[in-house]
Amino acid sequence: MLKLFLAGSAVKTFDLMVQHQLFRTLFPGPARLLEPGNYSDRLIHQALANTDDRIRRELHVTPAFLCAAILWPVLQQQQQHAEHEGLPAYQALQKAAQKVISEQIKRIGIPKRFTLPMQEIWELQWQLSRRQGGRADRMLEHARFRAAYDFLLLREQAGENLHNLGQWWTDYQAADPEQRLHMQQNLGREDGGARNNNRRRRGGRNRGGPKPDQAKTDQA
């Protein structure tokens, strides 16, 4: 896998693997969700394009980030199944992560030094949406924050609707303490309105929202 995807021609390699049906042999879970131009296809292509670009610029790349991206649509599907079984969102995410990794390592040997960061990147996607109080500042200090933030931008680049969450974190990192406080106060008002709307719409899930416009990620 490292030779296939970390030699500077990952996009071309991936397209050839799909064409010759090798991708589904190595990644059967993601391959089942893959269709030309759909979210899974866009996410993987963007992650591989970013990887190729970083290699050309002699920047650091990690298999953990790339594996996390390739397996992310499968993880989301498994998380939805676990939530339908009654698990809370975060527990469903953890259960899905364990299942997805255990299935994937039957095809590709991924050592723990990569699977553990993969799980952290996935779990931090949930935590990045929880910005109230002092959570946002604590999140900035997390060792995996940069990778998780880059992954968040990657998801938005692929078209996932995250209600401009990536832009919020981009602005928050550049803000001074006073600006951050203002952002937190605005966030509290926005969340309060969302809670009121949810009470009026009890029983349904809000999956809509504007499509964000993000800059290129720094980590891939």
Distance CA 52, CA 153 (A): 17
Distance CA 57, CA 85 (A): 45
At 206 the three-state DSSP class reads: coil
- The pLDDT tens digits for 54-89 are 999 999 999 999 999 999 999 999 999 999 999 999
Residue 70: per-residue pLDDT: 97
pLDDT at 109 over 80: yes
Mean pLDDT within 88-107: 96
- The pLDDT tens digits for 164-177 are 999 999 999 999 99
CATH hierarchy code of domain 2-200: 1.10.3090.10
Kindly report the pTM of this predicted structure. Answer: 0.83
Domain boundaries defined on the chain: 2-200
Distance CA 155, CA 39 (A): 9
pLDDT at 205 over 70: no
SS (H, E, C) 107-173: CCCCCHHHHHHHHHHHHHHHHCCCCCCCHHHHHHCCCCHHHHHHHHHHHHHCCCCCCCHHHHHHHHH
Distance CA 160, CA 38 (A): 11
Rg (alpha carbons) of the chain, rounded to whole number: 18
- The pLDDT tens digits for 130-169 are 998 889 999 999 999 999 999 999 999 999 999 999 999 9
pLDDT at 111 over 80: yes
- Nearest partner of 126 among 72, 89, 74, judged by Cα: 89
- Give the whole-number percent of the chain exceeding pLDDT 90: 81
